[in-house]
């Protein structure tokens, strides 16, 4: 059985040479990048906005305990209930208890990366509960049995023809290339589910400490329907999503939308502060917020990598990454792909199993340059690599090769012991291990070293 690292390399090669896949991704990402450039033109001083956002996120993360307790205090004051989950298992167990009390058989779910992180749909399915993705992109990949391809755009890897084929196969509709008809098909199917479902589940883009609110950003309105029609609303949110105040949203909402999709602000921005109040006509009878750790405090404890928790999940770093644009989102086999995923996934999912992700980068720095909260992403990838070495998680062959290289570089006598032919054999063996010679000409050592040439000349 292949290791995750070997499987990643195999899948990366397959995707990188799949010209049709690259065509779709570059077309779709190209549209986003063009829209983002237009959106940035609306800013008077975008760099200042990034500086402010970076400062506020650093303030929130460095005082995370205080802001989370403030959020809990204000949220529960309006009748909401907070569940603290150390890991995915605790989160799923608590959600399972709610489902049992509600005798839930159907759940409508808005787009949420944290639910993907804890594999909520699989858990609900095993317990006989139907979980329906209501975001159009998520609905499409759920029908096709796939995980989301992109943080913001789950079905980015699919063309209109691909989506039509999925609908024909799974929904038994007549073949069509009319995008509007495809959207109406999904809408017609999902509308009835909102009124049937006992529980609605969303994520949360921001937790607002000062008012105890969960801010949800979307473009389709499906999150609002998922949160208001069912009698119970569960929001599953990572603990790093907290920000000090509702007044900070005038900074973060436009940054999130502009960096992600090029919009000045997304179509729907909603703040949920608890269940329906006595004089309110709409909303759920119960509202729960699951505050998910799942490795985040492990990252928080590492001061040199803590800024990775500043991420607001805009997806901008994925759209500019040359590696992501060639190998795609599914190759990473993690919830969070691309540059920021390569930073945080080893800490959320285990460094030993996911160490290879931090090497899946050219370190060009494009990700850092576009991050709306100024996370130094490519530097964090280097720090992850350093941690892998310090913890002795590198392969035995790699450690042996580095030791031999270090010995020879420190000693001219040792370096001169081997003739050029022997050095070429060593290089060939070493570089073949990492695939260097597969698509490149083999490196060759000069017949005479500079040291030898210099001695002859002298």
Q: Over pLDDT 90: what percentage of the chain?
A: 81
Structural domains of the chain, ranges and CATH numbers in brackets: 42-294 (3.40.50.10420), 396-457 (no CATH)
pTM listed for this prediction: 0.92
What integer pLDDT is reported at residue 66 of this predicted model? 98
User: Is the Cβ–Cβ distance between 401 and 365 less than 8 Å?
Assistant: no
User: Is the Cβ–Cβ distance between 381 and 358 less than 8 Å?
Assistant: yes
Residue 441 per-residue DSSP state: P
Q: Tell me the C-alpha distance between 340 and 381, whole Å.
A: 9
What integer pLDDT is reported at residue 408 of this predicted model? 81
Q: What is the pLDDT of residues 235-251, one digit of tens each?
A: 999 999 999 999 999 99
Contacts of 18 (CB under 8 A, 6+ apart): none
What integer pLDDT is reported at residue 123 of this predicted model? 98
Q: What is the pLDDT of residues 362-397, one digit of tens each?
A: 999 999 999 999 999 999 999 999 999 999 998 887
What integer pLDDT is reported at residue 434 of this predicted model? 64
Q: Tell me the C-alpha distance between 157 and 139, whole Å.
A: 14
Structure tokens belonging to residue 93: 């167990």
Q: What is the pLDDT of residues 145-165, one digit of tens each?
A: 999 999 999 999 999 999 999
Mean pLDDT over each residue of the chain, to the nearest integer = 93
Low-confidence ranges of the chain (pLDDT < 70): 433-435
Paired residues of 139 in beta bridges: none
What integer pLDDT is reported at residue 433 of this predicted model? 66
């Amino acid at each position: 059985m292949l290791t995750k690292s070997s499987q990643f390399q195999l899948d990366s090669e397959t995707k990188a040479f799949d010209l049709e896949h690259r065509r779709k991704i570059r077309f779709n990402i190209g549209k986003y990048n063009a829209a983002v450039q237009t959106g940035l033109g609306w800013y008077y001083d975008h760099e200042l906005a990034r500086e402010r956002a970076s400062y506020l996120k650093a303030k929130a993360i460095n005082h995370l305990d205080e802001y989370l307790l403030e959020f809990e205090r204000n949220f529960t004051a309006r009748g909401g209930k907070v569940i603290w989950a150390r890991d995915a298992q605790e989160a799923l167990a608590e959600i399972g208890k709610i489902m049992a009390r509600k005798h839930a058989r159907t759940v409508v779910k808005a787009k949420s990366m944290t639910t993907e992180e804890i594999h909520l749909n699989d858990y609900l399915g095993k317990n006989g509960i139907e979980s329906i993705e209501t975001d159009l992109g998520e609905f499409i990949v759920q029908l096709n049995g796939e995980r989301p391809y992109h943080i913001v755009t789950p079905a980015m890897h699919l063309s209109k023809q691909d989506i039509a084929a999925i609908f024909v196969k799974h929904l038994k509709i007549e073949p069509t290339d009319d995008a509007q008809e495809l959207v109406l098909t999904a809408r017609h199917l999902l509308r009835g589910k909102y009124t049937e479902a006992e529980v609605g589940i969303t994520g949360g883009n921001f937790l607002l400490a000062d008012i105890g609110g969960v801010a949800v950003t979307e473009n389709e309105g499906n999150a609002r329907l998922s949160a208001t029609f069912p009698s119970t609303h569960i929001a599953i949110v990572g603990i790093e999503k907290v920000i000090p105040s509702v007044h900070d949203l005038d900074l973060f909402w436009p940054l999130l939308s502009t960096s992600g999709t090029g919009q000045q602000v997304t179509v729907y921005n909603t703040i949920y502060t608890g269940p329906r109040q006595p004089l309110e006509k709409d909303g759920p009878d119960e509202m729960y917020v699951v505050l998910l750790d799942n490795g985040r405090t492990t990252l928080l404890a590492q001061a040199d990598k803590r800024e990775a928790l500043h991420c607001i999940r805009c997806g901008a770093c994925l759209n500019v990454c040359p590696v992501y644009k060639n190998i795609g989102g599914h190759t990473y086999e993690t919830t969070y792909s691309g540059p920021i995923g390569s930073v945080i996934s080893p800490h959320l999912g285990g460094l030993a199993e996911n160490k290879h992700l931090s090497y899946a980068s050219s370190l060009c720095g494009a990700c850092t340059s576009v991050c709306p909260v100024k996370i130094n992403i490519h530097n964090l990838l280097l720090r992850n690599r350093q941690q892998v070495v310090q913890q002795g998680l590198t392969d035995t062959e790699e450690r042996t090769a580095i030791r031999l290289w270090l010995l020879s570089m420190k000693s001219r006598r040792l370096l001169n012991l081997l003739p050029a032919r022997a050095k070429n054999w060593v290089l060939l063996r070493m570089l073949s291990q990492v695939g260097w010679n597969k698509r490149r000409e083999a490196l060759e050592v000069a017949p005479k070293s500079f040291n030898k040439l210099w001695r002859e000349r002298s």
